[in-house]
Chain A
Amino acid sequence: MLDIALLWEMRGLILQGLWNTLWICFLGCLLALSLGLVLAALRLANPRLFGYPVACYVEICRGTPLLILLFLLYYGGPSIGLRLDAEIAGVMGIGLYGAGYFAEIYRGGFKSIPKGQLEAARMLGISPWHALIRVQIPQMARLIVPPGTNQLIILVKESALISIISVDDLTKNATTIVNQTFQVIEPYLAVALLYWLIIELIARSGYALEKRLANRQPRQAAQQGATPHANG
């Protein structure tokens, strides 16, 4: 039988781990999403200048384990004068690592917009910035939500590695409980359930966003098609 009382007794450690996992993942994913967008935009705006450096960054992220990046940031940082708290190293590790993947997801999204649509915008005098905001991003959003959601899920799962650089996240606190109580199943099952809940929340949000973006056209078209536009 599972010892539920044990989990109740250790709820403080579990909740602390959950909180740390949540905020570190949130900030790390935010950094990954933002930096990825900047990298993709730079690469597309000036391929001659930024193409190679961004491509190198992406390849390094894809070619090295997150754990090595975390070690470099946390243990290697001080040797170059970079002293980071374990939590901050965790945020940076997740963010820098995820940015490489997101840069590619965004790039795929940008590339999927036919060049002619942007030429039409330019011929109307619409600035590249407005074309990005009004033409490219709304269309690419629909395409990048599924792979983006997937990537966020992977980052949250991989965040368990920050326990190795001594961050008191869900995984580390579960291990602490195991070490204190010699009960293995309950703590790890509990944190597995919590990870699953976080990921389920991300997955469902992704589906909802995907559905909302995909439905916008037919829904409006159906509504407005039945009754001509108010001004018409």
Chain B
Amino acid sequence: MPTAEMLSPPLSSRPKSIVEAHGISKQFGDLEVLTNIDFSLAPSEVVCVIGPSGSGKSTLLRCLAFLEPYDHGSVYIDGQLLGYEDRSGKRVRTSEKRVDEVRAPVGMVFQHFHLWPHRTALENVTEALRLVNGMSRRDADVEGMAMLEQVGLADRAGHFPESLSGGQKQRVAIARALAMKPRVMFFDEPTSALDPELVGEVLDVMKKLAADGMTMVIVTHEMGFAAKVADRVIFMDQGRVVESGPPSTLFRQPKSERLNQFLNTWRERHID
């Protein structure tokens, strides 16, 4: 549980980041998976988080979204503390409703899509529009179709997830998140569960989003994509940020031995 001394700095002193984290840590039992992570994300910035498996990349993203409550530190979305509140100098968990309110600007795409199998592609996209935004079915369908159009899947609107390819499922998941008009998109290894041939179609959609100015945090193993699309790359290992910077610097002149080793392993695997 975060301690009182980690309470938020005054709003005025904070930079205008959409997402900001100070000293967040997370433990699963005795295992410390995140250690004292600082993070900030400016509007329209694209940040890729890379690192070996088990380095804490996905946990970081899940803590930033409060899908995993962080143990120490603080996460702010649009200047509002996520998941906790200050009551008489003591920090306590907020209600789930408050978490939803603070987290509203964030959309998330998961490695395994997590589409609802009993709903069609269009219904997957329109469900939250109707339940959360209170749209009529007709309006939600129009909006949903526009979103599916954006990811090139308007012709699959009536299909259930089981009849879609992995790439199509992930594109529906992106459309579903975009339908809620998020200001930030979190991608948790969006292409890791896909056949190599299907990766491109998902990355193309993400590239287009980046080009349109969407603010994004992407946990990925796609180094080529990170090099081309990211404004900043963060390299994590053993729950810590080892190095971060623009992709041109980070990939060509790694400062740490660990990143050098990680990149060499990646190059060997991909050149051989």
Contacts and interface: CB of A to CB of B under 8 A. Distances in A.
Closest 9 CB pairs of A and B: A224-B158, A124-B128, A229-B157, A116-B114, A229-B158, A120-B114, A123-B108, A125-B132, A232-B157
Interface of A: 114, 116-117, 119-128, 130, 134-135, 138-139, 216-217, 220-221, 223-225, 227-229, 231-232
Contacts of A225: 158-159, 163
Given A116-B110, A119-B114, A134-B131, A220 B180 contact: no
B200 interface: no
B162 interface: yes
Interface residues of B, number: 41
A168 B156 CA distance: 59
A231 B180 contact: no
A121 to B, nearest CB: 8
9 contacts: A117-B114, A124-B107, A125-B100, A125-B128, A127-B131, A134-B127, A217-B118, A224-B158, A232-B148
Contact of B67 (A123, A216, A220, A232): A123
A123 B107 contact: yes
**How would you classify the secondary structure of chain A's contact residues: helix, strand, loop or mixed?**
helix
Nearest to A124: B128
A170 B176 CA distance: 55
A224 B156 CA distance: 9
Given A119-B67, A224-B159, A231-B157, 5 more contacts: A114-B112, A117-B116, A125-B100, A220-B160, A231-B145
B117 interface: yes
A123 B116 contact: no
Nearest to B132: A125
Given A225-B158, A232-B154, A126 B132 contact: yes
A232 to B, nearest CB: 5
B120 interface: yes
A127 B104 CA distance: 12
B39 to A, nearest CB: 18
Contacts of A117: 114-116
Given A125-B180, A231-B157, A116 B112 contact: yes
B155 interface: yes
Interface string B159-200: 110110000000001001100100000000000000000000
B195 to A, nearest CB: 20
A74 to B, nearest CB: 44
B141 interface: yes
B163 A221 contact: yes
B156 to A, nearest CB: 8
Nearest to A128: B96
Contact of B127 (A122, A126, A217, A220): A126
A216 B116 CA distance: 14
B184 to A, nearest CB: 12
A228 B148 CA distance: 13
B122 interface: yes
B132 A220 contact: no
A120 B190 CA distance: 14
A232 B114 contact: no
Contacts of B108: 119-120, 123
B176 A124 contact: yes
Q: Which of A119, A120, A126, A220 has the most CB of B within 10 A?
A: A120
A127 B133 CA distance: 12
B180 to A, nearest CB: 6
A231 B122 CA distance: 10
A125 to B, nearest CB: 4
Given A134-B131, A220-B120, A114 B158 contact: no
Contacts of A123: 65, 67, 103, 106-108, 177
Contacts of B122: 229, 231-232
Nearest to B104: A125
A128 B156 CA distance: 28
A228 B180 CA distance: 24
A192 to B, nearest CB: 40
B108 to A, nearest CB: 4
Q: Which of A122, A220, A229 has the most CB of B within 10 A?
A: A229
Q: Which of A119, A122, A124, A138 has the most CB of B within 10 A?
A: A124
A47 B200 CA distance: 43
Contacts of B67: 119, 122-123
B154 A217 contact: no
Contact of A232 (B96, B117, B118, B158): B158
